[in-house]
Structure 1
Amino acid sequence: MSSSIWNRPARGTRGPAPAHSRDEIVAAAMAMADSHGLGAVSMRAVASALNTGAGSLYRYLSSRDDLLDLMTDRAVDELRPYPEISGDWLDAMVRMARRQLQLYRAHPWLIDILPRPTAIGPAGLAWLDHCLAILRPVPAAPTAKFEAIAMMTGVTTLFARSEAAGPPAGFADIDMTAYPNLVAAFTAPPASAPRDLFEATVRGVLRGLLSEPPPP
C-alpha cells in the first residue's frame, strides 16, 4: 500500500521538471468541482484544464484518490480563522458547526467526498485539534469527544445535503384522509417564532453526548 499523500514529496524526482505545482493542480480540480460537481473531476479533465497531459499529473499524484484527499484538505483549510474559544463550550462548538455548514454551501461536492475513507490532512488535523481545545473543560473521555465531533460533522453534512437537494415533493396530489395526524400537523398554525433547527440539533447532539457523566 502506498504511503499517504501527506508523507510524499510534492512531486516526483524523475523526468523533466513539471510545469505546474501541486497547489495549481488542486486549485484547478476544486474550480472544476465547484462548477460541475465532483463527477467532472478526473485526472484527464484536470490535466486538460491546465493544458497538459494526464500523464504529467502522475509526477505529483499517484491516483485520483490523492487528488480528492488534497482537495478535501484545501477546502477544510478555508475554515480558518477558527471562531475564538470563549464563553460556553457549547456555544463555541455551534460556531464551529456553522462554519462547517458555510463551507459545504461554498463547496457542495464536499458532501460527497467526505464519507470516503481517507487519510486526514494537516488542515483536518488542525480543525480537529481546535475542536478538542474547545472541549478541554468538558469532563468527558477523549473517545466521547471524538464521537461528539464526528456526530456534529454528520449532522452538519445532513443539513447541507438536505439544502442541496431542495424542498421535498408536496402532498397536493395525495388523498390524506387516511392520515389524520399528518393532516393535523400540516394544518396547524405556524409557530410565532420558528426555531433554528440546525442549531437546536447540534446543541442537542453535543449536550446529549458530552454533558452527562458516563455511568459508573
Structure 2
Amino acid sequence: MSRDLLALLWRHSDAVEPPRRGPRSRHSTDDVVASAMALADAGGLEAVTMRAIAQSIGMPTMSTYTYANSRDDLLVLMADEANAELGTAPEFAGEWRSRVRTLAEENLRMFRRHGWMLDIDDPRTVLGPGTIAKYDRELHAFDGMDLDPVRRDAALTFVLGFVRSTASRAAEHRRSAEFGEGWMLIADRLASRLGAAHPLAQEVGSAVGAAANAPYDGDAAWDFGLDRVIDGLAAVSRRA
C-alpha cells in the first residue's frame, strides 16, 4: 500500500500532513479526479489517460502524476469519489425492507451514472473516506433486523452483489436498444430458422421481446430479483 495514496484519499482531512510551502499550484488532485471522472462518464475507463486528463485541464502530461501518483491510484480516487456521492446522501427512512430497496435503487442509479465503476475492482478503494462513509451509511439499512455484525456485513454484500450483477447485465445488453423497432423483425426471422426447435426458449423469448422490444427486460429482472433478495433477508431475521 502506498502511503501517498492514503494521503491522497484523505486529502481533505485535518489529519493529513500540512501542505508544502511554496507557490500555490494552479491545479489540484480534485481537478485531476474530476477530469478523469468526466472522461470516464463519457467514454469509459479506456478514455482515462494521463494525456487526456492533462489536455482537459491544461497542464503538462507528466504533471498529472504529481497529483495522482499513477493511473491505478487515480482509479481508486475516482471510485472513492463516486462512492462519496452515496456516503453523504440522506439517512434511510422507513422500515428495513423499504431501506434496503432504497439502498439497492441508489446503487443502481450510481452504476448508471458511472458505468465505469463496474470495471474497477481494487481492494484499496476500501481505504477511502467516501467508501467508508458509504459503507457505514448502508449498514444502517439493516437496523432492526436480528443480525450480528458479520451477518450484517454479509447482508449488505448480498444486496450490493445483486445490484452489481444486474448493472453488469444491463451494460452487456445496452446495445439491444440500437435494434429499436427492428428487434421483433429480427426475432421473427430467427424463429423461422429455429422452426420447432427449443419451443420453451421461443415461447419465453417471444414474450420478453414483445414486452420489452429487446432480448432482455431489465426492469422485469430487477423487480423480480430485488423482491427475492428482500424475501431472502426476511428469512434470516427473527424480527422481520
- Aligned to 1:179, which of 198, 207, 210? 198
Read off the aligned partner of 1:175 and give its amino acid letter: L
Pairwise CA RMSD of aligned residues?
Answer: 3.2
Residue 157 of structure 1 corresponds to which residue in structure 2?
164
- Tell me the CA shift for residue 92 of structure 1: 0.6
In structure 1, the gaps of 5 or more residues are none
Q: Is the 8 A contact 1:26 1:70 kept in 2?
A: yes
1:198 aligns with 2:205: no
The alpha-carbon deviation at position 139 of structure 1 amounts to 0.9
8 Å CA contact 2:80–2:125 kept in 1: the answer is: no
Identity, in percent, stands at 32
1:88 and 2:87 correspond:
no
Structure 1's 183 and 59: CA in aligned 2 closer, same or farther, altered over 3 A?
closer
Matched with 2:148 is 141
Residue 68 (structure 2) aligns with? 61
1:70-110: CA deviations, max 9, x gaps? 11121122225535433221211111111111111112211
**Matched AA of 2:137:** H
Distance 1:182 1:117, change over 3 A: same
Change (3 A) 1:208 1:176: farther
TM superposition shift of 1:29? 0.8
Name the TM-score, length of structure 2 as normaliser.
0.73
Greater Cα offset, 29-38 or 155-164:
155-164
Counterpart CA distance in 1 for 2:165 and 2:53 is 29
Question: Please, what TM-score do these two structures have when normalized by structure 1?
Answer: 0.81
Contact 1:83–1:96, Cα closer than 8 Å, also in 2: no
After TM superposition, give the deviation of residue 25 of structure 1 in Å. Answer: 0.9
Match of 2:7 in 1: 7
- Relative to structure 1, the CA distance from residue 213 to residue 153 in structure 2 (aligned partners, 3 Å threshold; closer, same or farther) is closer
Residues in 2 aligned to 1:17 and 1:83: alpha-carbon distance in whole angstroms: 35
CA 1:205–1:16: 2 relative to 1, 3 Å: same
Moved more, 33-42 or 79-88: 79-88
Using the TM superposition, name which of 164-173 and 84-93 deviates more. 164-173
Q: Which sections of structure 2, spanning at least 5 residues, go unmatched?
A: 12-17, 178-182, 212-216
Offset at 1:20? 0.4
For the residue of structure 1 that corresponds to 2:26, the secondary structure is coil
Match of 1:208 in 2: 232
Tell me, yes or no, if structure 1 residue 123 matches structure 2 residue 130. yes
Aligned position for 1:101: 108
Deviations 1:95-132 (A, max 9, x none): 1111111111112211212x333332211111111121
Equivalence map 1:43-54=2 (5 Å): 43-54=50-61
Q: CA deviation at 1:178?
A: 2.2
Structure 1 Cα separation of the partners of residues 119 and 62 of structure 2: 26
User: Which structure features the higher share of helix residues?
Assistant: 2
